[in-house]
């Protein structure tokens, strides 16, 4: 900066000798002008911004052991961030290069020793093995063979079952493919929803859900035998209640709750802990208003304990308490582009979002407040001394977290 700045200054009010400006410097200045401005965003609940990518981030995934966050961008790299650095000043990341292509989606394997990506140009899955080095870093090696090309439309999501038994890929037509880990298709699902807007595997690995143009969320069970052999995919249950297309849905960590957001301008929270084999339907717990959903696509994330619902439309994020259905926080223009992914970390203490070249992490104050409310209610009914101590400890922890964030309501 010092160089180009000194060349722009005038000597005694007159321009400096032009011959001083070599061609290199001119080029240097030109490059600098074209580099897009990083989007600036500040908020009292912003915990960190992760900046290493030179392209826009399209997807991210937290590893099941809670140690890492993977992000992929159109700069032909996947970055693996250490979650223990999130609240430090420096955020270290390891880089995996995607040869002659870039990844649009990324997912960790359940054992955190590999990750899979969807290739933008290759239109297929590639697996990267993660090998720990002696210096504590990792070596990333792409497996020699990519998965065969099977989809006829753009792929909108991928997932790996936590059991490690199958991989799911879903495209924007009505196709969901269930693969084994070696790249063989086990089953093809036709969702019959005109088009797929989103599809996902439940954290318990039993279910695959999809939503699209129809006003329902369809859920299938992926069945395996006692010896771990694939058997079949069967219809399990549906979330029925929206009056227009469903943009997005998510499962809670224990797969007993689901949330959905629809073009009808509402979000809904469902109890899906039902005996669907006995024709028991999921039941609606709460409906909330979200006008933005009626005019543009939205994404949502459900906190692991299902207490907090985060909704993203455009570059804004809204946080709702699911127990009362009230909006608690609003983060405006978080990114310079539309938000492409939204996810709580596995502790539920942080909410991550991406869209431009940065990941932004927020303190989940709504989650701490929900714990305070729940513990206060449970303490009124608890008479056993050890139970009371445990509840009191959780209550104090949540109140301390809120106090440190300056968010404890008097």
Helices (H) and strands (E) in the chain, counts: 4, 28
Distance CA 3, CA 197 (A): 50
- For residue 158 the two structure tokens come to 């991928």
Residue 383's pLDDT is what?
A: 87
Superfamily in which the 47-297 domain is placed by CATH? YVTN repeat-like/Quinoprotein amine dehydrogenase (2.130.10.10)
What are 365-384's pLDDT values in tens digits? 999 999 999 999 999 998 88
Distance CA 359, CA 368 (A): 22
Residue 25's pLDDT is what?
A: 53
Residue 3's pLDDT is what?
A: 34
> How are strands ordered across the β-sheet holding 246-251?
246-251, 257-262, 266-271, 283-289
Residue 229's pLDDT is what?
A: 93
Residue 19's pLDDT is what?
A: 45
| Arithmetic mean of pLDDT, 250-277 | 96
Flag whether pLDDT at 112 surpasses 60.
yes
Residue 380: its H or E element:
helix 365-381
Flag whether pLDDT at 12 surpasses 70.
no
- For residue 30 the two structure tokens come to 């030109």
What are 333-360's pLDDT values in tens digits? 999 999 999 999 999 999 999 999 999 9
What are 280-333's pLDDT values in tens digits? 999 999 999 999 999 999 999 999 999 999 999 999 999 999 999 999 999 999
Flag whether pLDDT at 18 surpasses 70.
no
312 near 319, Cβ under 8 Å?
no
40 near 49, Cβ under 8 Å?
no
Residue 263's pLDDT is what?
A: 97
Residue 410's pLDDT is what?
A: 55
Half-sphere exposure (Cβ direction) of 110: Cα atoms closer than 13 Å:
13
For the chain, domain boundaries: 47-297
What are 119-152's pLDDT values in tens digits? 999 999 999 999 999 988 899 999 999 999 999 9
Flag whether pLDDT at 36 surpasses 80.
no
Q: What are phi and psi of 205, to 5 degrees?
A: 75, 0
Confidence of residue 8 (pLDDT cuts 50, 70, 90): very low
In this prediction the pTM is 0.87
| Arithmetic mean of pLDDT, 32-58 | 83
What are 150-181's pLDDT values in tens digits? 999 999 999 999 999 999 999 999 999 999 99
Residue 10's pLDDT is what?
A: 34
293 near 261, Cβ under 8 Å?
yes
Residue 137's pLDDT is what?
A: 85
What are 189-242's pLDDT values in tens digits? 999 989 999 999 999 999 999 999 999 999 999 999 999 999 999 999 999 999
Flag whether pLDDT at 266 surpasses 60.
yes
Long-range contacts of 114-122 (CB under 8 A, 24+ apart): 115/61, 115/70, 115/78, 115/80, 116/158, 116/160, 116/167, 117/72, 117/78, 118/155, 118/158, 118/169, 119/146, 120/74, 122/146
User: Which residue shows structure tokens 């099977």?
Assistant: 150
**190: which residues sit within 8 A by CB, 6+ positions away?**
174, 175
Is 235 or 25 the better-scoring residue by pLDDT?
235
Q: What are phi and psi of 199, to 5 degrees?
A: -150, 150
């Amino acid at each position: 900066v010092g160089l180009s700045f000194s060349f722009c200054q005038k000597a005694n009010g007159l321009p400096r000798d032009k011959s001083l400006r070599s061609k290199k410097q001119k080029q240097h200045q030109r490059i600098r002008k074209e580099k897009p401005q990083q989007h600036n965003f500040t908020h009292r609940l912003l915990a960190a911004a992760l900046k290493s990518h030179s392209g826009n981030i399209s997807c991210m995934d937290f590893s099941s052991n809670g140690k890492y966050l993977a992000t992929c961008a159109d700069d032909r790299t996947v970055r693996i961030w250490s979650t223990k650095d999130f609240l430090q000043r420096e955020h270290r990341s390891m880089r995996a290069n995607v040869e002659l292509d870039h990844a649009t989606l990324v997912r960790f394997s359940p054992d955190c020793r590999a990750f899979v990506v969807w290739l933008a140009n290759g239109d297929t899955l590639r697996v990267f093995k993660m090998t720990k080095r002696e210096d504590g870093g990792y070596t990333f090696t792409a497996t020699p063979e990519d998965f065969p090309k099977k989809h006829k439309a753009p792929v909108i999501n991928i997932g790996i079952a936590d059991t490690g038994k199958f991989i799911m890929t879903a495209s924007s037509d009505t196709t969901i493919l269930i693969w084994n880990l070696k790249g063989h298709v086990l089953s093809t699902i036709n969702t019959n929803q005109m088009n797929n807007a989103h599809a996902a595997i439940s954290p318990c690995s039993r279910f695959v859900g999809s939503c699209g143009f129809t006003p329902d969320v369809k859920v299938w069970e992926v069945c395996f035998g006692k010896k771990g052999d694939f058997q079949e995919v069967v219809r399990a249950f549906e979330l029925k209640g929206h009056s227009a297309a469903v943009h997005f849905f998510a499962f809670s960590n224990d797969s007993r709750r689901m949330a959905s957001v629809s073009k009808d301008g509402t979000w809904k929270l469902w109890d899906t802990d039902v005996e669907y084999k006995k024709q028991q339907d999921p039941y609606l717990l709460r409906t909330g208003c979200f006008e933005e959903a009626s005019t543009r696509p939205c994404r949502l994330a459900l906190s692991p304990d299902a207490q907090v619902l985060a909704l993203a439309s455009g570059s804004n994020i809204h946080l709702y308490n699911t127990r009362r259905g009230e909006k608690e926080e609003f983060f405006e223009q978080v990114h310079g582009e539309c938000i492409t992914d939204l996810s709580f970390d596995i502790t539920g203490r942080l909410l991550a979002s991406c869209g431009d070249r940065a990941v932004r992490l927020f303190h989940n104050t709504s989650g701490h407040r929900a714990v305070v409310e729940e513990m206060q209610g449970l303490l009124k009914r608890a008479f056993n001394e050890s139970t009371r101590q445990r509840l009191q400890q959780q209550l104090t922890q949540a109140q301390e977290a809120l106090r440190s964030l300056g968010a404890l309501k008097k």
